Amino acid sequence: MKKLFLFTALSFGVLTLNAQTKEELQAQKAEKTAIASTASAEAAAIQAKIDALPGWRKGAFGTIGGSLSGFNNWYAQGAPNNSSGNIGFTVNAFANLIEDKFFWRNSLTTNLNWVKLDNKDITTDSDNFEPTTDVFSISSLYGRNIAKNLAVSALGEYRTTILNNFNDPGYFDVGVGFTWTPIQNFVLVVHPLNYNFVFAENDTVFQSSLGAKIVADYTRQIGAIAFKTNLSAFQSYESGDLSNWMWTNSFSYTLWKMIGVGFDFGLRNNRQEAANFQEVALDAADNDLQTYYTLGLSYKF
């Protein structure tokens, strides 16, 4: 009986000690969590002050997507012997110099994709990767501040394809006007005096003209999420058929270290391109909305 009593007392003491230790550990965890939350908030506040300082701000992120497949004697499909693949990537980069009296903002956006479908039973198709999505845009914006969030500015923007028909067409906008920056990371450009130079072999459809340029851009990173949305529009004073606009969007979510998932999509409206592709007069073109998207792995540069 005495041994049983001692064993019971010892077991109760161990359980009590374990319970106290667990409570102490939970209290320590809560204390450390509170300290970490405070430190994280302080670090974010310091980073906000750093971002507000004059100087260069640089960054880039992109998306990589791809798949490869091969079939041999797969009789259930129309081409039992084939190899196929899809490869694509996007890059969004910026280098901005922000000073008290002026700014110089530079950006690059590109989206390139290749597709391959090789039917091994015939010789008339291509066994190469053929380009599909082909977007390239680079811009440079300079402004002198005349108020806290308003500046007189000049913009140069070039857009084209680089895999097929480089600079055919190519668009170069140059103009002056005003830039409004109501909040950090958002830029609105309104240039009522802008000339849209169009470079193309088919000069009966593609024409340069004077007009107004509007650009809206929002680029930001919040924790593991990076995103960019950009609208670039030109309104011709000569004819609405010579106007065009393009809206591109990129999202990236980092899952592990520098790797994550990314999604890009874009919309474009350009009657001159539609008429050139359909080989019709400008006013006879069926100007459908142009779209593209890319989904795949992302890599934070």
Residue type, 236: S
Which pLDDT value is given to residue 2?
Answer: 54
The number of CA neighbours under 13 Å toward the Cβ of 202 is 16
Mean pLDDT over each residue of the chain, to the nearest integer: 86
Which pair of structure tokens corresponds to residue 136? 């390239």
Using a 10 angstrom Cβ sphere, with 0-12 exposed, 13-18 middle and 19 or more buried, the burial of residue 159 is buried
The pTM assigned to this predicted structure is 0.79
Task: Determine the pLDDT at residue 61.
Answer: 84
Say if residues 294 and 111 touch (Cβ distance below 8 Å).
yes
Q: Is the dihedral of CA 34, 50, 150, 109 positive or negative?
A: negative
Peptide bond into 169 cis (omega under 30): yes
Residue 1 pLDDT greater than 60, yes or no: no
CB 152 within 8 A of CB 142: no
**CB under 8 Å to 55, separation ≥6 — which residues?**
97, 98, 99
> Can you give the pLDDT at residue 231?
97
CA nearest 173: which of 152, 195, 188, 153? 195
Return the higher-pLDDT residue of 18 and 51: 51
How many Å is the Cα radius of gyration of the chain? 29
Report helix, strand or coil for 184.
Answer: coil
pLDDT of residue 202 exceeding 60: yes
- Average pLDDT value for residue range 200-205: 88
Give the pLDDT band of residue 85 (cuts 50, 70, 90): confident
Output the DSSP codes for 222-248: ETTEEEEEEEEEEEESS-GGG-EEEEE
pLDDT band at 235 (very low <50, low <70, confident <90, very high): very high
Residue with tokens 């079939």: 71
Place of tokens 């899809």: 86
User: Is pLDDT above 90 for 122?
Assistant: no
Cα–Cα distance measured from residue 90 to residue 237, given in angstroms and rounded to the nearest whole number:
33
Contact status, residue 177 vs residue 213, Cβ threshold 8 Å: yes
What is the rounded average pLDDT of the residues 242-259?
A: 90
Rounded to whole angstroms, the Cα distance separating 162 from 164 reads 6
